[in-house]
């Protein structure tokens, strides 16, 4: 379902339609490339809308099954940041693979990257990890 329909459904302000939107896969497909935003005659920030809808759908447990990889990715990503303050790609990828079970995906690529010196085995954390941890606590409340 294209974004125009997403927004149209929301304009009804009816719970059924909202549900249809929150359960849809569409809201997970937005690449936040902002093209729509820069085109829209009404300057509607569609990506922002999509972000919000994703939060909601997760909060209400309505997220589309196909979104679980994405969610897993985000969890892994955020986890990595929460722990090190910066992204540790290998750690994140591993974490992601375990979460999703796509254990074999990109294996060859991974090793290639490693040869090219593009992957760091050990995380380069920041000094003040506490700062970032607190940041997470204060905003999300969860430890991750």
Partner 1 sequence: MRIGYYPGCSLTSSAREYDESVRAVCEMLDLTLVEIPDWNCCGASSAHVAGAELALGLRARNLALAEAAGLDEILAPCAACFNRLASASVELADAPDKRQAVSEVIGMPYSGKVRVLNMLAVLERFKDQIAAKTEQSFRHKVACYYGCLLVRPTKVAQFDRVEDPQSMDQIMAATGAKPVRWSSKTECCGTGLSTITRTELVANLSGRIVADAAKREAVAIITACPMCQTNLDMRRPEINQKLQQKHRIPVLYVTQALGLAMGIDPQRLGLQRHMVPVELPEPEPEVVTTDDDDDED
Partner 2 sequence: MSRLGVFVCHCGENIGATVDVTEVAERCKHMSGVAHAEDYKYLCSNPGQNKIKQAIQEHQLDGVVVAACSPRMHEPTFRRAVSDAGLNAYMCEVANLREHCSWVHQKADSTTEKAVDLVRLQVEKVKRNKPLDTIQVPITRSALVIGGGIAGIQAALDIADSGHKVILVERSPALGGHMAQLSETFPTLDCSQCILTPRMVDVSRHPNITLLTYSEVEHVDGFIGNFKVAIRKRARMIDEELCTGCGECLQKCPTKNVIDSFNEGLSMRRAIYVPFAQAVPNIPVIDTEHCRRYQKKKCDRCAKACPTKAIKFDQKDEILNVEVGAIVVATGYQVMSTDRFPEYGYGTYPDVITGLQFERYASASGPTQGVIKRPSDGKEPETVVFLACSGSRDAAKGVKYCSKICCMYTAKHAMLLKHKNHNAKAYVFYMDIRAAGKNYDEFVRRAIEEDGVKYIRGRVSRIYEEDGKLIVKGADTLLGGEPVQIKADMVVLASAALPNHGQGELAQKLHVGTDPYGFVAEAHPKLRPVETTSAGIFLAGACQSPRDIPETVGQASAAAAKVTALLSRSHLAREPLVAEVNRRPAPEYSTCTGCLLCETACPYQAIGHEDIKDRNGNVLKTLAKINPGLCQGCGTCVSLCRTKAIDLHGYSNEQVFAEIMSL
| Closest separation in Å from C-beta 12 to partner 2 | 16
Site string for partner 1, 84-103 (x = CB under 8 A): -xxx-x---x--x-------
Question: What is the three-class DSSP state of 119?
Answer: coil
Q: Is residue 2 at the binding interface for partner 2, with CB under 8 A as the rule?
A: yes
CA distance 25 to 46: 15
Q: Is residue 108 at the binding interface for partner 2, with CB under 8 A as the rule?
A: no
Q: Is residue 40 at the binding interface for partner 2, with CB under 8 A as the rule?
A: yes
Type and span of the H or E element at 134: helix 129-140
CA distance 47 to 71: 17
- Interacting residue with partner 2 among 16, 41, 116, 142 (CB under 8 A): 41
The tokens describing 91, both together, are 């750690």
Choose the contact partner of 3 out of partner 1, partner 2, none; CB within 5 to 8 A by kind.
partner 2
Distant-in-sequence, close-in-space partners of 33: CB < 8 Å, separation ≥ 6: 47
- For the residues of 28-76, what is the DSSP string, one character each? HH-----HHHHH-TT---HHHHHHHHHHHHHHTT---TTHHHHHHHHHH
Q: Which is nearer to partner 2, 36 or 93 (CB)?
A: 36
Q: Is residue 143 at the binding interface for partner 1, with CB under 8 A as the rule?
A: no
Residues that bind partner 1 (CB under 8 A): 28-35, 37-38, 45, 51-52, 54-55, 58, 69-74, 77-78, 80-81, 85-87, 89, 93, 96, 105-106, 109, 112-113, 116-120, 124, 126-128, 131-132, 134-136, 138-140
């Amino acid at each position: 379902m294209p974004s125009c329909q997403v927004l149209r459904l929301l304009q009804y302000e009816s719970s059924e339609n909202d549900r249809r939107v929150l359960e849809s896969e569409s809201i997970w497909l937005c690449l936040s490339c902002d093209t729509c935003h820069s085109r829209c005659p009404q300057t509607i920030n569609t990506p922002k809308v999509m972000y919000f809808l994703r939060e909601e759908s997760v909060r209400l447990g309505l997220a589309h099954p196909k979104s679980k990889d994405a969610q897993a990715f985000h969890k892994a990503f955020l986890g990595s940041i929460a722990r090190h303050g910066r992204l540790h790609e290998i750690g994140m990828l591993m974490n992601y693979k375990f979460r999703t079970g796509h254990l074999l995906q990109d294996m060859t690529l991974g090793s290639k990257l490693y040869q090219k010196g593009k992957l760091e085995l050990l995380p380069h954390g920041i000094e003040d990890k506490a700062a970032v941890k607190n940041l997470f606590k204060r905003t999300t409340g969860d430890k991750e």
